[in-house]
């Protein structure tokens, strides 16, 4: 049985993760089905609906497996862990050279 925070985290990721995935699927499937919608709108609508349902099923399945495998009880803990890893990476990475620009957009020499 899963905890409330784990269920809440999973529902949050599932809800807000579906928007970009649905947008990408729409970019792919809607232009393909545009001509077909004019010829047979019922069949085309059913096919588009089946594609979205299949993508949704796969998304939910893999998200559930992800949460079970890594046993993240709280989404906040996951973000905190990722944030700490990013801090460590940033600390050891080379910082870019800072440039100063004047009004004309020309680079000034640092002295």
φ, ψ of residue 101 in degrees (nearest 5): -120, 145
Helices (H) and strands (E) counted in the chain, each on its own, are 3, 2
**pLDDT tens, per residue, the chain with 111 residues:** 457 777 777 778 788 888 888 899 999 998 888 888 888 889 889 999 999 999 999 998 988 887 777 765 556 666 677 777 777 666 655 555 555 555 655 555 554
**What is the model's pLDDT at position 28?**
92
* Chain Cα centroid distance, residue 94: 28
Domain limits, the chain: 4-95
Contacts 24+ apart (CB under 8 A), 27-34: none
Per-residue pLDDT at 1: 47
In this prediction the pTM is: 0.58
- Burial of 59 (C-beta count, 10 Å sphere; 0-12/13-18/19+): middle
């Amino acid at each position: 049985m899963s905890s409330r925070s784990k269920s809440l985290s999973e529902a949050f990721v599932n809800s807000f993760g579906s928007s970009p995935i649905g947008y990408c699927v729409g970019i792919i499937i809607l232009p393909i089905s545009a001509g077909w919608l004019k010829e047979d709108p019922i069949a085309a609508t059913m096919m588009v609906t089946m594609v979205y349902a299949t993508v949704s099923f796969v998304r939910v399945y893999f998200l559930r497996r992800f949460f079970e495998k890594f046993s993240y009880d709280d989404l906040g803990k996951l973000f905190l862990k990722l944030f700490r890893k990013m801090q460590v990476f940033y600390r050891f990475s080379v910082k870019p050279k800072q440039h100063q620009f004047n009004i004309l957009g020309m680079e000034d020499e640092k002295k």
